[in-house]
């Protein structure tokens, strides 16, 4: 009678708590923030392919990016994190299936017994057992399923994390390579300028010896030569450090830095990639998808914490054989089936506080998702406006250089005719050489802005990710 009463009470508790365990829908990433209808600048063009760097049509660059994606340490680290997440998915799936253990044992018991004849006798008893034990938790409140869903979302976040690492590595390799080529071009230009300045110095010195030039002209030209000589070691050091950085990105040691034979920057592809709508960009970007998966995982964790406050029902079953002799082991069998219902009665608010703590983590993940979305939209806007304005800057800088070269030619003609002094020629020459170096940097910056645009709208490089 007491046993039936306890069973009825337990059933009543379970039914009563079932109404409190209704699962609340998780916040979906799509509802997290309101997106603009379009970007401020909306270029027309082809949609960027997964391997967007091939648009620059440079075999050397393609080979470097491929090597980095294969051997790069940052990508290798992301692959291992993804593998760990996928193994956790397998572990979570195992919790939905009853566990079965094999049990076997053998023992000997020795005891002293009173025989009743004023003497004790030692009795030895052997025992043998063999059986199976199974256990399974009935997922009354969805705790196990919510835990598995959370782990599945975390595994998805791992896949997006790998894709984001590949996009970031490819962009960094491209930008580093462009800086390396631009530095090599600057170094070559400085060498040419130094050779030209030394020849001019010889001419000025000869004119000075013939009293056809002043000492000021001679010293100013020597100053110009020394300035270029001082810039050459800095350019060489920058070139070497960029090569070292590129080697590390490829997974090499700096001593094995790749030799980049390219000595000229590639032209900017005429057609920029099609950006699309903000919603399209966010649907492609791996970092946004990663933040959304983490948000969904955090919401599932809240459900896990809520279910942990409710009773858990676990079934256990055992079946096996036991005997005092191996010969008769399989003659005796036994089986047992039990159900245990256990739940918190009083924990001083421990589980309630845990639910609140996990919920704050969900809110934090929601804020992180919103921040990622806003940063993604901003990066696209920044890349668009920077490339647009940099193209204008490069064009204007080219016109300025052309005008400066014309002015230098006119100044040299006036100096040759004796209509002007050499200081004006030297000043104009310094302007031309400075603009030539500035134009190299401006063109390199324009290419890097195009890379930044690709990076801001790129999806996964590998479609399976």
Q: What distance lies between CA 244 and its chain's CA centroid?
A: 22
Report strand pairing: 333-342 vs 312-323. antiparallel
Helix, coil or strand: residue 208 = helix
Residues 156 and 244 in one domain: yes
Residues 247 and 117 in one domain: no
Dihedral of alpha carbons 437, 443, 449, 454, sign: negative
With contact defined as beta carbons under 8 Å apart, do 50 and 463 qualify?
yes
Residues 116 and 189 in one domain: no
Residues 163 and 285 in one domain: yes
Residues 75 and 124 in one domain: no
Tens digits of residue pLDDT in 70-113: 999 999 999 999 888 888 888 777 767 777 777 777 777 777 76
Burial class (CB in 10 A: 0-12, 13-18, 19+), 271: exposed
Report strand pairing: 99-114 vs 312-323. unpaired
The domain that contains 209 carries what CATH number? 1.20.1600.10
Residues 152 and 205 in one domain: yes
Residue with tokens 């020394």: 226
Query: Is 218 a domain residue?
Result: yes
With contact defined as beta carbons under 8 Å apart, do 139 and 145 qualify?
yes
With contact defined as beta carbons under 8 Å apart, do 71 and 251 qualify?
yes
pTM for the predicted model, two decimal places: 0.79
Q: What is the pLDDT of residue 463?
A: 65
Helix, coil or strand: residue 364 = helix
Residue with tokens 């998702």: 369
Domains of the chain: total = 2
Half-sphere exposure for 420 (CA within 13 Å, toward CB): 15
Residues 315 and 377 in one domain: no
Q: What is the pLDDT of residue 25?
A: 45
Q: What is the pLDDT of residue 158?
A: 92
Instruction: List the structure tokens of 304.
Output: 């896990």
Report the C-alpha gap between 6 and 385 in whole angstroms: 73
What is the edge-to-edge ordering of all strands in the sheet holding 99-114? 99-114, 120-138, 312-323, 333-342
**Which among 314, 313, 310, 331 has a CA at the least distance from the CA of 322?**
331
Query: Is 298 a domain residue?
Result: yes
Query: Is 15 a domain residue?
Result: no
Of 298, 323, 343, the residue at which a domain comes to its end is 343
Q: How many CB atoms lie within 10 A of CB 100?
A: 11
Residues 273 and 391 in one domain: yes
Query: Is 227 a domain residue?
Result: yes
Query: Is 9 a domain residue?
Result: no
- With b for 16 or more beta-carbon neighbours within 10 A and e for fewer, the 74-95 pattern comes to bbeebeeebeebeebbeebeeb
**Which among 425, 438, 464 has a CA at the least distance from the CA of 217?**
425
The domain that contains 113 carries what CATH number? 2.20.200.10
Dihedral of alpha carbons 167, 169, 175, 178, sign: negative
Query: Is 10 a domain residue?
Result: no
Residues 59 and 201 in one domain: yes
User: Which residues of the chain fall short of a pLDDT of 70?
Assistant: 1-33, 41-49, 95, 113-121, 128, 136, 260, 320-335, 337-339, 341-343, 463-465
Which strand (E) or helix (H) includes residue 122?
Answer: strand 120-138
Report the C-alpha gap between 248 and 62 in whole angstroms: 17
Q: What distance lies between CA 84 and its chain's CA centroid?
A: 16
DSSP conformation class of 359: H
Residues 204 and 249 in one domain: yes
Instruction: List the structure tokens of 93.
Output: 């799936």
Instruction: List the structure tokens of 162.
Output: 């790998």
With contact defined as beta carbons under 8 Å apart, do 408 and 425 qualify?
yes
Q: What is the pLDDT of residue 16?
A: 44
Query: Is 12 a domain residue?
Result: no
Helix, coil or strand: residue 282 = helix
Residues 323 and 363 in one domain: no
With contact defined as beta carbons under 8 Å apart, do 341 and 311 qualify?
yes
DSSP conformation class of 379: H
Enclosing domain of residue 322: 98-138+311-343
Query: Is 353 a domain residue?
Result: yes
Residues 265 and 116 in one domain: no
């Amino acid at each position: 009678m007491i046993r039936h009463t306890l069973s009825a009470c337990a059933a009543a508790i379970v039914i009563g708590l079932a109404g409190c365990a209704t699962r609340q829908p998780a916040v979906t990433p799509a509802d997290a923030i309101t997106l603009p209808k379009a970007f401020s600048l909306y270029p027309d063009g082809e949609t960027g392919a997964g391997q967007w760097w091939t648009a620059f049509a440079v075999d050397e660059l393609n080979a470097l990016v491929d090597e980095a994606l294969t051997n790069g340490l940052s990508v290798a680290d992301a692959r291992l994190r993804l593998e760990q997440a996928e193994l956790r998915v397998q572990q979570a799936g195992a919790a939905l299936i009853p566990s079965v253990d094999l049990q076997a044992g053998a023992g000997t018991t020795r005891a002293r017994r009173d025989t009743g004849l004023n003497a004790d006798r030692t009795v030895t008893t052997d025992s043998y057992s063999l059986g199976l034990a199974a256990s399974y938790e009935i997922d009354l409140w969805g705790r196990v399923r919510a835990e598995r869903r959370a782990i599945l979302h975390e595994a998805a976040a791992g896949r997006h994390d790998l894709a984001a690492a590949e996009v970031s590595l490819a962009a960094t390799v491209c930008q580093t390579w462009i800086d390396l080529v631009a530095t090599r071009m600057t170094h070559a230009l400085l060498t040419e300028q130094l050779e030209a300045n030394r020849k001019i110095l010889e001419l000025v010195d000869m004119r000075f010896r013939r009293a056809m030039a002043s000492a000021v002209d001679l010293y100013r030209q020597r100053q110009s030569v020394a300035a270029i000589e001082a810039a050459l070691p800095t350019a060489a050091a920058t070139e070497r450090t960029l090569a070292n950085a590129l080697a590390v990105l490829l997974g090499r040691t700096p001593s094995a830095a790749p030799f980049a034979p390219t000595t000229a920057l590639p032209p900017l592809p005429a057609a920029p990639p099609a950006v699309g709508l903000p919603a399209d960009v966010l649907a492609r970007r791996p970092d946004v998808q990663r933040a959304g998966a983490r948000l969904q995982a955090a919401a599932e964790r809240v459900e896990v914490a809520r279910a942990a406050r409710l009773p858990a029902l676990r079934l256990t079953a055992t079946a096996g054989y036991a005997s005092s002799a191996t010969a008769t082991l399989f003659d005796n069998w036994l089986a047992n089936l039990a159900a245990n219902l256990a739940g918190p009665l009083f924990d001083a608010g421990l589980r309630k506080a845990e639910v609140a703590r996990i919920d704050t983590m969900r809110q934090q993940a929601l804020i992180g998702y919103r921040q990622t979305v806003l940063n993604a939209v901003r990066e696209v806007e920044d890349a668009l406006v920077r490339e647009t304005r940099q193209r204008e800057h490069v064009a204007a800088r080219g016109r300025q250089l052309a005008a400066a070269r014309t002015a230098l030619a006119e100044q040299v003609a006036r100096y040759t005719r004796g209509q002007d002094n050499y200081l004006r020629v030297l000043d104009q020459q310094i302007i031309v050489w400075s603009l030539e170096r500035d134009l190299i940097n401006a063109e390199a910056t324009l290419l890097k802005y195009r890379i930044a645009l690709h990076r801001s709208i790129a999806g996964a490089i590998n479609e399976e990710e």
